[in-house]
Structure 1
Amino acid sequence: MAELETERLVLRPLAGADWDDYAAMMAHPEVAAGLAEGVGRTRDDVWRNLAMFIGHREIRGYSHWALVEKATGAFVGRAGPWSPHGFPGLGVGWCLAREHWGKGYASEAARAALGYCFTELAAGEVVSLILPGNARSVAVAERIGHRHLRDTEYRGRRVHVYGQRRPG
């Protein structure tokens, strides 16, 4: 899986060495509560979640990247393409550490991931699942060109499906 760079971020494959930063990010109640995949906040839950993203890369050949701030080298969060078993299409997702919210990093990383899906993965459509009431993620989805397509059930939760077709 290729490493990408944006104006302010390096997007590199998630690795076991990200464990401490990842666990700290997921321990924040607002972070975990906003995720459509319903991740728990215990260290065991977070361990399985990180392993799931790394394993997804092994199975599919792509997954979320670790987001690293160029200026400081700080772990910012994760974002990238996503299509686990049962997911309604090729998705793009994002999750940022609470202290990095409001800086535009989610939109920057999601835009890069969306481009990767269209160019490298030849996707015809890319979707993002968002929990009802998650206005911040809706704003990110709309900034990258997604529109509300429908609602569905995913892992026992009602979610909004935002997405878009390949340009052109």
Structure 2
Amino acid sequence: MLETERLILRPLTGDDFDDYAAMLSDPEVAGGLAETVGTSSADAWRSLATFIGHREIRGYSHWALVERATGAFVGRAGPWQPYGFPGLGVGWCLARAHWGKGYATEAGRAAVRYCFEELAAREVISLIKPGNARSVSVAERIGHRHLRDLDYRGQQVHLYGQSA
């Protein structure tokens, strides 16, 4: 578990499912992700299970973001490198009610720091869907720069990143 000024970053669990499913049921939230995710409860279940399974396989994964002041589920963020991913990545996904508060940047900075300090990463990347200006802004605020565009799982994405 990590803490930032306003957030608790803790492992995602099955207890997060209702909040997680509510977040992904918003087409604007799901539609902004670099990797296609549906908006049904079944899609949310598979997505949550993927992140929990990733932690079991790799030893790290996205965390649940919890607002320290209220205990509210904000979203997820953290390190990520599933099979076939082009490097050690950090990502973020927030419920729309929490957009514009700086939480993605706060969690993204913590994730990058974790990757460099705890995982001894030499480079950390983020894949961003074209047109997702909010995520581009977060990537730039956490120190990433645009490196190149690439095809990832059948769709074009922007690859942002930074070196240690």
Indicate whether the TM-score tops 0.5: yes
Aligned partner of 1:141 among 139, 142, 151: 139
- How many residue pairs match? The answer is 164
Residue 55 (structure 2) aligns with: 57
Consecutive aligned runs of 4 or more in structure 1 exceeding 2 Å deviation: none
Gap runs ≥5 in structure 2: none
Mapped pair 1:98 → 2:90: no
**1:38 CA displacement:** 0.6
Give the aligned partner of residue 158 of structure 1.
156
- d(CA) in 1 for partners of 2:67, 2:41: 24
Aligned ranges for residues 77-92 of structure 1 at < 5 Å? 77-92=75-90
State the Cα deviation string for residues 63-99 of structure 1 (Å, max 9, x = none): 0000000000000000000000010000000000000
**Structure 2-normalised TM-score?**
0.99
Which residue, 19, 22, 28 being the options, matches 1:21? 19
Q: Give the percent of matched residue pairs that are identical in Structure 1 and Structure 2.
A: 77
Long gaps (5+) in structure 1: none
Provide the secondary structure at the position in 2 that maps to 1:93.
strand
Partner SS, residue 138 of structure 1: helix
Task: Report the RMSD for the aligned CA atoms in angstroms.
Answer: 0.4
Distance 2:145 2:139 in 1: 7
Partner of 1:11: 9
Letter of the structure 2 residue corresponding to residue 84 of structure 1:
P
